Structure 1
Amino acid sequence: MAKFFDIHPDNPQQRLISQVADALRNGAVIAYPTDSGYALGCAMDNHFGSDRIRAIRDLDERHHMTLVCSDFSQLGQLVILDNHAFRAIKAATPGPYTFILPATKEVPRRLAHPKKKTVGVRIPDNEIVRSIIAELGEPILSSSLILPDIDSPLTEGWQIKEELDHVLDAVVEAGDCGEEPTTVIDYSSGSAEVVRVGAGDTARFE
């Protein structure tokens, strides 16, 4: 049965943030709100956790998992950025975008795309997420909470707990966080390619 954390969206209770971070350290898979809907997450070194996320979403190993970061300096340690990508991504973050870029050696090989050696990264505009990452001390390995057998995304914490109580360890509730997933921009070829149109405006990358 998943634990339920009701956290204030603007003034997150530090006690609850610490409990969520501790759960991640101890191997939990969680559902948590971002600035573009809910996501599934676990600690970077949680091998079984990433497998559980893929199983929940029915994904294969070619699907890019995302490393959710607290700020641009943390993101810059995980991916290789040329000057063009650096400027464009810095201007667009924090925000509802996921960027696919070549991974640095800081990223465990199992988290990168098996052939392209790329990884997804993002910095959400969400105080709760940034607070959890700051307490955890590292990015959260994540994937959008898009279920294979449900037409519309789950947008309420209680609804997610009810639907996924048997496969999650914790659910974070923080009010409305939207339902449109991130816009995905692939920079792995050296120029921006819009892979998925979502909550983020694509005009700046076209």
Structure 2
Amino acid sequence: MAEFIKIYPENPNDKEIHKVVEVLRKGGVIIYPSDTIYTLGCDITNYKAMERVAKIKKIKLEKNTFSIVCNDLSHLSDYTKPIETKTFKILKRSFPGPYTFVLPAVNNMPKAFKKRKTVGIRIPNNNITLEIIKQLGNPLVSTSIYDEDEVIEYTTDPELIYEKWERLVDVVVDGGYGGNIASTVVDLSETNPIVIREGKGSIEVL
């Protein structure tokens, strides 16, 4: 049964953040808020945890489309090839914010990402997520949690999320009501930006 941990986004409690980080360090899988929707994730350095996330999503790990969630741009060179100044300026303008930018992946990606030529990078404007990653010291992997409801694509109430996912994950972080519009996805792996999905983030930053 998952633990339900309330954390206030305006001023995240260090003790509660630490609890979540300890779960991640032990290979736990969590549901946590972002600046868009609630997402499912784990520590990027833990292969077994990523296998669990893939199993929950009912996909093969090697076919994953997980995004990498960082707390700043300092981790970028660990996962992406050197980028042009123009691209870097777009990232600086947009992060932290409701965007996923697809960038060329480095050759020595973690095992679960080996077959990927590109990777999606997120830096959400959410203090809870940023604090978790900062304390953990590694990025998280992230994937959306869809709702089967035909009208509501994403559940926004953390208590309802807990009811649905409590037997599948180790922690559900209650950071208040989430959004129901996903991030804007932009491919920056080629010369010109290509908008793959227009979501919460304005495409005027491009």
**TM-score for both structures, normalised by structure 2:** 0.90
In structure 1, what residue type is equivalent to 2:149? Answer: I
Equivalent position of 2:128 in the other structure: 128
Q: Per-residue deviation at 1:25?
A: 0.6
Q: Per-residue deviation at 1:146?
A: 2.0
Equivalent position of 2:79 in the other structure: 78
Equivalent position of 1:19 in the other structure: 19
Q: Per-residue deviation at 1:55?
A: 3.0
- For the residues of structure 1 that align with 2:65 and 2:169, how far apart are their CA atoms? 21
- For the residues of structure 1 that align with 2:54 and 2:199, how far apart are their CA atoms? 21
Change (3 A) 1:39 1:197: same
Q: Per-residue deviation at 1:95?
A: 0.2
Equivalent position of 1:102 in the other structure: 104
Other structure's SS at 2:31 match: strand
Structure 1 segments unaligned to the other structure (5+ residues): none
Structure 2 segments unaligned to the other structure (5+ residues): none
Equivalent position of 1:66 in the other structure: 67
In structure 1, what residue type is equivalent to 2:156? Answer: T
The size of the alignment, in residue pairs, is: 202
In structure 1, what residue type is equivalent to 2:144? Answer: S
Give the conservation status (yes or no) of the 8 Å contact 1:70–1:134: yes
Deviates more, 1:27-36 or 1:70-79: 70-79
In structure 2, what residue type is equivalent to 1:129? Answer: T
Residue identity over aligned pairs, in percent, reads 37
Change (3 A) 1:5 1:166: same
In structure 2, what residue type is equivalent to 1:23? Answer: V
Listed as ranges, the matches of 1:95-174 within 5 Å are: 95-105=97-107, 107-112=109-114, 114=115, 116-147=116-147, 149-151=148-150, 152=152, 153-174=154-175
- Pairwise CA RMSD of aligned residues? 1.7
Other structure's SS at 2:10 match: coil
- For the residues of structure 2 that align with 1:58 and 1:183, how far apart are their CA atoms? 24
Equivalent position of 2:201 in the other structure: 200
Give the conservation status (yes or no) of the 8 Å contact 1:57–1:146: no
- For the residues of structure 1 that align with 2:191 and 2:64, how far apart are their CA atoms? 20
